[in-house]
Amino acid sequence: MDTFIFMQVFSLGHGPEGGGSSEAFAFLQHYWWFLISLLGALLVFLLFVQGGQALLYSIGRTDEERSLAVNALGRKWKLTFTTLVVFGGAFFASFPLFYSTSFGGAFYVWMAVLFCFVVQAVAYEYRRKPANVLGAKTFDAFLLVNGILGPFLLGTALSTLFTGAPFTVDRLNLADPGTNGSTVISQWTTPWYGLDALAVVWNPVLGVAVVLLAMTLGCQYLMNSVGDEPVFCRARRRMLFCGCGFVPFFVAWLVHLLFATGYTENPAGLITAEPYKYLHNFSQMPFLAVGLAVGVGLVLWSVYAGWRGSRKAIWYGGAGTVLAVLALLLCAGWNHTAYYPSLADMQSSLTIRNSSSSLFTLRVMAYVSLLVPFVLAYIWYAWRAVSRRPLTRGELHGDGHQY
């Protein structure tokens, strides 16, 4: 980006366009897609909380061991939850057409996501509290449901950014004064409202891959954060199993992606199908290919390091996950790619150009985004402050806050 565009990006002029150029607008659309992708990548990494929950009964054989795992994971659940909230909010603000199209169309999927995250939030705080009415087992079951269903649904939804969904978009539907819903801009064209994503086999394949990745990372996190030999040994074994399970699912999905036909947008806004679109994207943006390769390599290395007994495996796995998911999401949206292809009407497909907020709003939020490094810094500080020492059985019997 040259200095001129940089100045335009951060100069708030008058009116909705703020006096900016189309180059500045395009830059901000790419910038916000990068931020959304980064949030998405961090969210997938933070799903280690869900992965750990999914293995709660497998890693924790006794009440005390399960409590160790829950208390270690519980110190991070709010971070995952907050990242999900911010991911949703940032998507809403920067690409509102996606928000209205996907959320308003894939209704069942997003409702299922909501249900399984709501039960997680209360499960940690209530599971061991006296008089919790539903009983500890119910709340542990909530953790299990969230641990498996959460990553699966999010992985499935993530895959639809490549495989598409059946919807149409017509902004001028607002010109219809009818009361039968004809004014609705984004409409789903099947009666399945999101469940249709399960019919495209590659979506659940990525869903399963994300579940297994979350479990792998969850084991690595527990190896890092719990100072207890039996829990460590079990987590190490489960990690190898989940890591080995993750590879075929992810590789199958990735190979399919590289050979898939994607949609591309020309300068006039016309969308056409392009065979090997994502392969082309990686070749035309080699830094993404490198990022993906390094990311996947780091995840594999983390499994190896974990198997060798390293407590630091989570950091390799985490960094690798963030890099790989970031590269995939950037591949979905950059290079004139339709990041939400419509299977019902190709021209309704969403690109970062036709679905973003206005230049003015993206620019205002770009200022706000300057806070992100500061936010990351204090999150890192708090993480270190709370988790500097692994959690031990002794702490469970102290007078500190317990889950």
Q: Hey, which residues between 68 and 127 contact other proteins (CB under 8 A)?
A: 75-76, 78-79, 81-82, 84-86, 88-90, 92-94, 96-97, 99-105, 107-108, 110-111, 113-115, 117-122, 124-127
b/e map 80-90, b = 16+ CB within 10 Å: bbebbeebbeb
Kindly state whether residue 201 participates in binding other proteins, applying the rule CB under 8 A: no
> Which residue in the set 21, 190, 347, 361 belongs to the binding site for other proteins (CB under 8 A)?
361
Contact 100, 186 (CB under 8 A): yes
User: What does the per-residue mask of binding to other proteins show for 204-243, with x meaning CB under 8 A?
Assistant: ----------------------------------------
Stretch that binds other proteins, among 220-228, 269-277, 284-292, 363-371 (CB under 8 A): 363-371
Give me the sign of the Cα torsion angle 119, 122, 126, 127: positive
Kindly state whether residue 386 participates in binding other proteins, applying the rule CB under 8 A: yes
In whole angstroms, the minimum distance from the beta carbon of 230 to other proteins comes to 17
> Which residue in the set 2, 131, 266, 286 belongs to the binding site for other proteins (CB under 8 A)?
131
Residue spans of beta strands (DSSP E) within 180-283: 186-188, 262-265, 271-274
> Which residue in the set 7, 61, 129, 309 belongs to the binding site for other proteins (CB under 8 A)?
129
Q: How far apart are CA 78 and CA 401, in angstroms?
A: 15
* Non-local CB neighbours of 273 within 8 Å, separated by 6+ positions: 261, 262, 263, 264, 346
Exposure on the CB side of residue 19, measured as CA atoms within 13 A: 8
In the range 3-32, which residues lie near other proteins by CB under 8 A? 15-16
Contact 113, 150 (CB under 8 A): yes
Kindly state whether residue 144 participates in binding other proteins, applying the rule CB under 8 A: no
- Hey, is 263 helix, strand or coil? strand
Kindly state whether residue 38 participates in binding other proteins, applying the rule CB under 8 A: no
Closest CA to 219 of 206, 198, 243, 236: 236
Kindly state whether residue 2 participates in binding other proteins, applying the rule CB under 8 A: no
Closest CA to 239 of 325, 329, 301: 301
Contact 220, 45 (CB under 8 A): no
Kindly state whether residue 358 participates in binding other proteins, applying the rule CB under 8 A: yes
In whole angstroms, the minimum distance from the beta carbon of 183 to other proteins comes to 4
Kindly state whether residue 379 participates in binding other proteins, applying the rule CB under 8 A: yes
Kindly state whether residue 132 participates in binding other proteins, applying the rule CB under 8 A: yes
In whole angstroms, the minimum distance from the beta carbon of 145 to other proteins comes to 12
Kindly state whether residue 394 participates in binding other proteins, applying the rule CB under 8 A: no
